[in-house]
Structure 1
Amino acid sequence: MHIAILTLRFSLPGCASLKEKRQRIGGMHERFGRNPSVAVCESGEYDRHDASEWSFVVMARTKREVESLCSQIEDKIQRTVEGRVMDVVQEFL
């Protein structure tokens, strides 16, 4: 079994409230949490309006499958989140 932690940090320019932040970032759990191989949570920047950090724990039988899932997550986030991905860290356990 292979496990990776994928952490993404976002910049949310012009975001003025936590409510607006949730609207821009909202749906992460619904989009990615349905996959039994992925666990997702907001992992940082809780109180900042203009930034957010999310972590994904990805598990699969092979390292190649884990890398593929991480790549799919990154691609989908780039297309769907109203903000800029500032940093991506992928760590294998």
Structure 2
Amino acid sequence: MHIAVLTLRVALPGCRSLKEKRQRMGGLHERFGRHPSIAVCESGELDRHDASEWSFVVVGTSSRDVASLCSEIEDKLQRTVDGRVLDATREFL
């Protein structure tokens, strides 16, 4: 069993409310949380309007599977979220 924690920090320029922040982040729980190998939560910047931090716990049978899922999450987030990814860190446990 291989496990990684992927943490992404996102800037949301011009975001003026928590409601707008939720709309711009666009349902990450629904998109990624349905996958049986991924757990997702908003892990930081909870009260800031112009930034967000999300953590994903990815589990797989091989390190290659886990790395591939992490890359897929990063790519999809960059394409679908109305914001700019500032930082992405991966920690393999």
* Matched residue, 1:14: 14
Unaligned residue ranges in structure 1 (runs of 5+): none
Equivalence map 1:1-93=2 (5 Å) = 1-93=1-93
Q: SS of 2:49's equivalent?
A: coil
Q: SS of 2:79's equivalent?
A: helix
Q: How many residues align?
A: 93
Aligned partners of 1:64, 1:8: CA distance in 2, in Å?
20
Q: Deviation digits for residues 14-40 of structure 1, max 9, x if unmatched?
A: 000000000001310000001000000
Moved over 3 A (4+): none
TM-score, normalization by structure 2: 0.99
Q: SS of 1:49's equivalent?
A: coil
TM-score, normalization by structure 1: 0.99
Query: Percent of aligned pairs with the same residue?
Result: 75
Alignment RMSD: 0.4
Unaligned residue ranges in structure 2 (runs of 5+): none
Aligned partners of 1:22, 1:31: CA distance in 2, in Å?
14
One-letter amino acid of the counterpart of residue 66, structure 2: V
Aligned partners of 1:27, 1:16: CA distance in 2, in Å?
18
